[in-house]
Structure formats: C-alpha cells, structure tokens
C-alpha cells in the first residue's frame, strides 16, 4: 500500500510520475530482471557486492538467537548470510514487495538445501505488516532507492525494531572522489548495454542507473534516518562513496 494521494509525484529514474504509479513501474522492472538479477549484480559491481555485503554483516552486530528482517531482500543473498549468524534459535524474515524476486529468492534458498530459520513475506516497506518492537536488526540492501516514500518506509523500519535494534541501509551513493565519480559515471553507462545483451532488457537497467543517480547522497540520507527517529546515525563509505552503509539505532 502507498500513503500517497493522487496529487503527489515522485521520481522513477529521471521521470516524474504520480506517486501511486511508482510501485507498479518498479514492479515491472524487477519482474523482468529477477531471473538474472544475481548475474547482473556480479557484472555491474565486478564482484565487489559480495565483499560489501560481508562488511554490512560485520556492522550488523547480529548474534545467535536474533531475529532479522531482510527487507527488499529479493534473491535471498543477505538472508542466507544472516541465517548463518542467527543460527537455529534465530529467525530471518526475507521480505520483498515483488513476487517474482521473492520467488527467485525462495527457489535459490531451496536449491541450497533450504534453511529452517528463513521465512518469507511479500510486503511493502512503507506499510510493514509486522508487530512493533519485533526485530533485532532490519537490513535493506540496494532496495531503498526503489521505495516511493522513503521517509514513510524508514519510520516503519523504526517501528518494527526492538529498542536498541539496528537498521542497516546498504545503497549506491555519491562518490566523494571526483576522479572515481567520473570513472563510475562512465562505467554505469555500460549497464543498460550489458542488460540488453544478457537479459534482453535495456530499459530496466537504464532505470536502475537513473535510480542510483537520483538517490539521496550520504548526508541527506543520514538526516532522513535521524528524522525517522534513529539515534547514533553514521555511515561508512565503500569504494570512495560509490556505495554507503548507513547505520541507525532505535
């Protein structure tokens, strides 16, 4: 569900669209790319997304017995990692608004033998159907930029966290080094070409590039977490700010 009324607009890449339409447009993108999403992640990040996710886990402070919400968890990459940390007494809830991505994640986990501590829920980040104070950790990796109302979603994440719980937002961000920024910009131009060659879908990867470029920078996103109620908010730049991991405590 969206809290937007018919007069509100938002960004879908570089396009301004009615806020009520964005979730559907994003849904079509991920319906298209779901089956090749992990392959394209490796190509677009040159494999570095695996190292970045490992660092994110180190920042999570997740321990055996914890309950984790992997929001916009898609193909289950982070859920599999969290499942090992929380152990058999813990619980990981893999949640995504997109049914195609969630199905891909479930199939991937089953292909690896299944994990008895991973559960699944199709849910909208803006209106999470979970109880207050439920999770020790909420993680959203490469998903916040696709959310229509990010402020609403961040408040929902704050609500479902236990007091003292930790939010992790891993997302593409704004390079802090001009040379890296120019090189990164040129590299991003290749993504739609790669998307067309590998998935036959250029437009979806053009949107993904544009969604990165219009996403809030590090300091702006830090302020958004603080406005949502999070304390001790900080961020860690990765690859000179190509990605950033924001951390906030409830």
Residue 98 to residue 71: CA distance in whole angstroms: 11
In the chain, where the domains are located = 21-66+130-249
User: For position 89, what pLDDT does the model report?
Assistant: 96
Low-confidence ranges of the chain (pLDDT < 50): 1-6
CA distance 40 to 52: 16
What is the C-alpha to C-alpha distance for residues 102 and 17, in angstroms, rounded to an integer?
26
Q: Give the model's pLDDT for residue 3.
A: 46
pLDDT at 95: 96
Q: What is the DSSP letter of 124?
A: -
Sign, CA dihedral 228-145-131-6, equals positive
pLDDT at 211: 85
CB 232 within 8 A of CB 248: yes
What is the maximum alpha-carbon separation in the chain?
47
Q: Which fold has domain 21-66+130-249?
A: Rossmann fold (3.40.50)
Residue that is written with structure tokens 């008895």 in the block: 116
Per residue in 113-158, pLDDT (tens digit) is 778 999 999 999 999 999 999 999 999 999 999 898 999 999 999 9
State the pLDDT at residue 4: 43
Contacts of 86 (CB under 8 A, 6+ apart): 62, 63, 64, 65, 66, 67, 68, 92, 117
Q: Which pLDDT value is given to residue 5?
A: 47
pLDDT at res. 11? 63
Q: What pLDDT does residue 32 have?
A: 63
Considering the entire predicted model, what is its pTM? Answer: 0.86
Say if strands 67-71 and 135-141 run parallel, antiparallel, or are unpaired. Answer: parallel
């Amino acid at each position: 569900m969206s809290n937007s009324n018919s007069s509100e607009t938002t960004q879908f890449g570089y396009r301004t669209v009615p806020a009520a339409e964005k979730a559907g447009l994003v849904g079509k993108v991920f319906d298209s790319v779901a089956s090749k999403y992990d392959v394209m992640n490796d190509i677009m990040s040159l494999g570095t997304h695996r190292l970045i996710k490992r660092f994110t886990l180190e920042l999570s402070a997740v321990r055996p017995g914890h309950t984790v919400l992997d929001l916009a968890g898609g193909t289950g990459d982070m859920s599999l990692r969290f499942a090992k940390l929380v152990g058999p007494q813990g619980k990981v809830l893999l949640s995504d608004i997109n049914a195609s991505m969630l199905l891909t994640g479930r199939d991937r986990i089953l292909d690896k033998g299944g994990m008895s501590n991973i559960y699944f829920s199709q849910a909208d980040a803006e209106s999470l159907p979970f109880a207050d104070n439920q999770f020790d950790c909420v993680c959203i990796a490469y998903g916040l930029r696709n959310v229509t109302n990010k402020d609403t979603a961040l408040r929902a994440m704050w609500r479902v966290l236990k007091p003292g719980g930790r939010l992790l937002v891993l997302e593409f961000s704004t390079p802090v080094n001009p040379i890296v920024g120019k090189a990164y910009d040129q590299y991003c131009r290749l993504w739609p070409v790669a998307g067309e060659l590998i998935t036959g879908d250029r437009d979806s990867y053009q949107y993904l590039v544009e969604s990165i470029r219009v996403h809030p920078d590090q300091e702006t996103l830090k302020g958004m977490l603080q406005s949502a109620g999070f304390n001790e908010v900080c961020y860690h730049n990765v690859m000179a700010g190509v990605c950033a991991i924001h951390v906030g405590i409830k």
